[in-house]
Structure 1
Amino acid sequence: MVQSVQTFINGKIFTSNPEQPHASAMIVRDGRISWIGEQPALKRIEGNCIDLKGQRVLPGFIDAHLHPLWLANASTQIACTPPIVNSIADLIVEIQTVYQLSRNDQWIEGWGFDEGKLLEKRTPTRWDLDQAAPDLPVFISRTCTHIAVVNSKALELAGITKETPDPPGGEIDRDSTGEPTGILRENAKELATRIMPVKSLEENAASLAELGSFLLSHGITAITDLSSRTGPTDYLNLYQTAVKKGLKQRTVLYYMWEDLKEQPHLKPDQVNCKNQIHIGGIKLFSDGSVSGKTAWVYTPFLGEAENYGIQTTSKEELTAAAEAAEQNQIQLVVHAMGGQAIDLILKTLDTKKNWLSDGPSLRIEHAAMPTTQAIKRAAEKGIAFVTQAIFMFAEIESYHNNLGEERTKQTYPIKSMLDAGVKVALSSDAPATAWADPVNPFVGIKSAVTRQAYNGADTGQEQRIDVATAILLYTKAAQEITRIPEVGKLAVNHHADFIVLEKDIFDMDLDKIDTVSVSKTYMGGELVFEKHR
């Protein structure tokens, strides 16, 4: 068999490998790095020589908390974000435009509204949506994806009336007469989503493959799906089909506990980390979102003395899910934003021993408002926090409205987590944030290193981290938490997954980091993306 060999020279390589942080040349043999170091030590050029022309090189990014199928489908829905939608009136116009082109049996869908950014400073209601589409069902997701608004036709099809009780872990908003307003919080959304039309496996796989190309343009070479399902389409089959259609990213799936609880046994090949597509964990929710005022907090949301958010799971569910995760030798992954939600997880599983040897057994997703004691306990137990600095950057209006300026500065205390020894990864949670390009890693990195929102608001200077650390949290640390083997750093025997930047992220104003773009992306030493000039 003929070996594929390339020698990359004249680069400014940041390796994410603390044992050898910097290099200027590397040799790639059959997709893996066989040598890396400073160019003067390079004894000879092997194979094809590629001149990096002094550009900055980083390991490929790993998005440790992502919703690829949602993100892929969002491109076909109404984008309810600035600059297009700045008010409920704008939203009505956008829905009307789609309505006029729609079939009789079609659902109209949208994503990304944030009432903090809307002129009216309130959440749309069924009656707003009815003005635009009186006889077709409409489903609009809030930016956090934990809240949706539907119109009267959708309520009718879902069978939601005055008499419909709130489902466990969910709330149906009602007016003063008890009439549903169309706003469905947390698990109440499922009353509508379960009756919505489902795309075929082939359609969704094609969308994922197309998204994969876009993610490569952002330097993202490994991804996760934190809302994977067993039905009506099994996501393992879906992603394997997407690979056949061109999806290149190494991908970890996290299955929803509600889908697995009846039959939690998985086959060894399904959870094999060496497979491009594999199952890495079981996912459940402990609460909702800060921006949607459904995070389960210790101090009530601003101006709502009785609103402590929503608890969406129980000790019994957490314990059962942890046992299933241990049985399958995969992670337990729990969404928790508020302090009470985080503490429920820690207290429930405090005496349970870690069951994985190659990474954290337990991951807490978002971890927006951990107490000092929770941070300390997570460090002691080897529990990982997978967090999203982009939330503060993009959703500052809602954070200020719901928490106030001082509490906002205390959210996502990334530096405190790291100082305590907690395993931390940065990620995007795309498309669950109010930003036009929510998956862009450089936006999250900018937020983490400046602790300023897009509008310049201070989001907590004491919690700033430096650029190198932010990159580590998107590469090496993300690998250690997702357990994807032999990626995350540029080192001998690792996959040659790396990106070349147009500008040097280490040599620029911090407030310009979100303007950094990827010139080239390589996977296994193969050029898989090149920016056209």
Structure 2
Amino acid sequence: MTQERDIIFYNGRIFTADSDQPYVNTMIVRNGKVVWVGDNPDAERTDGRWVNLRQKRVLPGFIDAHMHPLHLAAVSEQIPCTPPKVHSIKDLQEQIKWQADRQENNDWIQGWGFDEGKLTEGRTPTRWDLDHAEAVIPVLLTRTCGHIAVANSKALEMAGIDKDTPNPSGGQIDRDEDGEPTGVVRETAKDLLDAVVPETTMEEDAELLASSSENLLAHGITGITDLMARKIPTDDADMYSLAQRKGLKQRAVLYYLWSEIKDNPNIGVERKDRREATHIGGIKVFSDGSVSGRTAWVSTPFLGNDDNYGISTTSEPELLTAADAAKKNGVQLVIHAMGEQAIAFIVDTLEHVNGWLDDAPSIRIEHASFPSGDILDRAAEAGIGIVTQPIFLYAEIESYLNNLGSGRTKSSYPIRTMLEKGMQVAISSDAPGNAWHDTVDPFVGLKGAVTRKAHDDTDVGQNQRINLETAIVLYTREAGKITRIPDVGQLTPGYHADFMILDRDILQTGPEELDNVRVLQTYMGGELVYEEETAGHKG
């Protein structure tokens, strides 16, 4: 629909994320896109609707380059296993009992977000802990990283997991000294339980996703990604399109799981049209697990277990085959890798594969927790991009210290070094896959990147600090580039007028206030799509 008049946003403190013109006070929008930015245009020669920004700080809309929106929406309806509600296994049991008492049927009880590093017992709950709370209804609690879960005995029985069940390739069923499953399943072993959890319909998923849109807008998020998109039994591209018809406003890029498409890796042309609000941007492969869950493929064993180097979850032939499929489809290959060995394995395998995309890295490493300097040099030379998450160190410091110690923790997620080596980098949340109570909050990630301190003020490596302007750019302009969403991430002529207005000028107040920032308004295409109803601090 053609806009009748220009919209002139004036009297603001606009950070454009454009390095050639980063700070302006006025922006003119026409038909949803920015056509002019600068300072104080001649009012008499500019006809249109004028919007006074009242000296508020304006940022481009955040593009979360690695997240799981449907999972994020789903866990909002599950038992919260994080502070402030849960601090112990006893608290978990109380939450399970509360849920069982209010249910009218024997539907599965699910929970999300436990982190043994934050539990007073300092250990992962077991099937017997869950049985004590509920033995009749199947219970499944997923760890904050999303790579590990714990089930009660009823759920294990339904999944057919017993003493004789072998570990699947790339996964592990934890067992006690008698060989009995403890209820804890890691990596691909979690799929055994996921397979028996009742499936939701496409209509239900679309409704749930659409209902989450306002929460994302309340965080200034205008672009999203789904790094675990399914194609079987239904195609998530269809589900996201339906969600947008139902009210999902964010532009969305989906990355098919390799396991979903490897038997038929042809992605239709219409699915890859980047002009569409939903499109397929890549293929996703896992090469290891998580640091906090002790399943990342590391070169030095996790503390307290000299035999645990994590889990390798892919192979050289699989990576090369997936890369070939991505090239033939003209999309990105994105690979989950946290540990040193996993990152080195990817670079060793793919550094000599010629890139096939002209406008962005053909190959991305997701997370890249522990890259060595040599591996980063080679990855930079090969044009490999990185999407990483400073919120992990900020939110999960207890597990990182327990699993790695202070020295290795401080050397993780070396964003400053990545940038100095000329790599294309974006930062994101991996929501809901982190241990913060508000997993998708970009401002917490910004604070972690800028301060290199955890939520409890633990130093996590001051030599890897970056300044706030750079951090914002990595969450906006560079995230737009690395996800290949057209014309997003900066407020400059030709780009979509997607932006937020903040309650404070974060470029003046200092990083210590970042986790308290509120988004007052969010605009997409120059039109107001979210406005805060009540003023109150987060949390």
- The normalised TM-score by structure 2 is 0.98
The 2-side partners of 1:179 and 1:457 are apart by 38
Asked if 1:208 corresponds to 2:247, the answer is: no
Question: Closer, same or farther in 2 for the Cα pair 1:390/1:489, shift >3 Å?
Answer: same
**1:169 paired residue number:** 170
Listed one character per residue, the Cα deviations across residues 180-224 of structure 1 (whole Å, up to 9, x for unaligned) are: 000000000000001110111111111111111110010000000
Match runs of 1:26-425 below 5 Å: 26-40=27-41, 44-425=45-426
**1:463 paired residue number:** 464
Q: CA deviation at 1:2?
A: 5.6
Q: Per the alignment, in what secondary structure is the counterpart of residue 58 of structure 1?
A: strand
Q: CA deviation at 1:133?
A: 0.9
Q: CA deviation at 1:45?
A: 3.1
**Given that residues 265 and 325 in structure 2 are in contact (C-alpha distance below 8 angstroms), is that contact kept between their aligned partners in structure 1?**
yes
The 2-side partners of 1:394 and 1:179 are apart by 33
Q: CA deviation at 1:480?
A: 1.0
Q: CA deviation at 1:363?
A: 0.6
The 1-side partners of 2:200 and 2:92 are apart by 25
Q: Per the alignment, in what secondary structure is the counterpart of residue 508 of structure 2?
A: coil
The 2-side partners of 1:417 and 1:450 are apart by 17
Letter of the 1:174 partner, please give it. Answer: R
Mean Cα deviation higher: 378-387 or 167-176: 378-387
Q: Per the alignment, in what secondary structure is the counterpart of residue 365 of structure 1?
A: strand
The 1-side partners of 2:85 and 2:21 are apart by 46
The 2-side partners of 1:351 and 1:453 are apart by 37
Asked if 1:431 corresponds to 2:413, the answer is: no
The 2-side partners of 1:14 and 1:512 are apart by 18
**Given that residues 222 and 251 in structure 1 are in contact (C-alpha distance below 8 angstroms), is that contact kept between their aligned partners in structure 2?**
yes
Q: CA deviation at 1:41?
A: 6.0
Letter of the 1:290 partner, please give it. Answer: V
Q: Per the alignment, in what secondary structure is the counterpart of residue 49 of structure 1?
A: strand
Match runs of 1:500-515 below 5 Å: 500-515=501-516
Question: Closer, same or farther in 2 for the Cα pair 1:323/1:233, shift >3 Å?
Answer: same
The 1-side partners of 2:191 and 2:409 are apart by 30
Question: Closer, same or farther in 2 for the Cα pair 1:2/1:436, shift >3 Å?
Answer: closer
**2:519 paired residue number:** 518
**Given that residues 3 and 31 in structure 2 are in contact (C-alpha distance below 8 angstroms), is that contact kept between their aligned partners in structure 1?**
no
The 2-side partners of 1:2 and 1:104 are apart by 51
**1:491 paired residue number:** 492
**Given that residues 31 and 496 in structure 1 are in contact (C-alpha distance below 8 angstroms), is that contact kept between their aligned partners in structure 2?**
yes
Q: CA deviation at 1:101?
A: 2.2
The 2-side partners of 1:149 and 1:271 are apart by 37
> Percent of counterpart pairs with the same letter?
55
Q: Per the alignment, in what secondary structure is the counterpart of residue 506 of structure 1?
A: helix
Q: CA deviation at 1:40?
A: 5.0
Q: CA deviation at 1:42?
A: 6.2
Q: Per the alignment, in what secondary structure is the counterpart of residue 100 of structure 1?
A: helix
The 2-side partners of 1:202 and 1:48 are apart by 39
Letter of the 2:313 partner, please give it. Answer: T
Q: CA deviation at 1:268?
A: 1.0
The 1-side partners of 2:510 and 2:373 are apart by 32
The 2-side partners of 1:107 and 1:386 are apart by 34
Q: CA deviation at 1:134?
A: 0.5
**2:15 paired residue number:** 14
**Given that residues 25 and 42 in structure 1 are in contact (C-alpha distance below 8 angstroms), is that contact kept between their aligned partners in structure 2?**
no
Q: CA deviation at 1:509?
A: 2.7
**Given that residues 149 and 190 in structure 2 are in contact (C-alpha distance below 8 angstroms), is that contact kept between their aligned partners in structure 1?**
yes
**Given that residues 428 and 444 in structure 1 are in contact (C-alpha distance below 8 angstroms), is that contact kept between their aligned partners in structure 2?**
yes
**Given that residues 60 and 500 in structure 2 are in contact (C-alpha distance below 8 angstroms), is that contact kept between their aligned partners in structure 1?**
yes
Q: How many residues align?
A: 533
The 2-side partners of 1:426 and 1:169 are apart by 27
Question: Closer, same or farther in 2 for the Cα pair 1:326/1:297, shift >3 Å?
Answer: same
**Given that residues 297 and 338 in structure 1 are in contact (C-alpha distance below 8 angstroms), is that contact kept between their aligned partners in structure 2?**
yes
**Given that residues 27 and 46 in structure 1 are in contact (C-alpha distance below 8 angstroms), is that contact kept between their aligned partners in structure 2?**
no
The 1-side partners of 2:484 and 2:44 are apart by 34
Q: Per the alignment, in what secondary structure is the counterpart of residue 482 of structure 2?
A: helix
Question: Closer, same or farther in 2 for the Cα pair 1:124/1:23, shift >3 Å?
Answer: same
**Given that residues 5 and 47 in structure 2 are in contact (C-alpha distance below 8 angstroms), is that contact kept between their aligned partners in structure 1?**
no
**Which ranges in structure 1 are unaligned for 5 or more consecutive residues?**
none
Letter of the 1:362 partner, please give it. Answer: I
The 1-side partners of 2:313 and 2:30 are apart by 49
**Given that residues 4 and 31 in structure 1 are in contact (C-alpha distance below 8 angstroms), is that contact kept between their aligned partners in structure 2?**
no
Letter of the 1:457 partner, please give it. Answer: T
Letter of the 1:56 partner, please give it. Answer: R
Listed one character per residue, the Cα deviations across residues 417-449 of structure 1 (whole Å, up to 9, x for unaligned) are: 001111110100000111110100000000000
Mean Cα deviation higher: 281-290 or 504-513: 504-513
Q: CA deviation at 1:269?
A: 1.2
- The normalised TM-score by structure 1 is 0.99
Q: Per the alignment, in what secondary structure is the counterpart of residue 507 of structure 1?
A: helix
The 2-side partners of 1:51 and 1:65 are apart by 34
The 2-side partners of 1:138 and 1:169 are apart by 24
RMSD over aligned CA atoms reads: 1.0
Q: CA deviation at 1:3?
A: 3.0
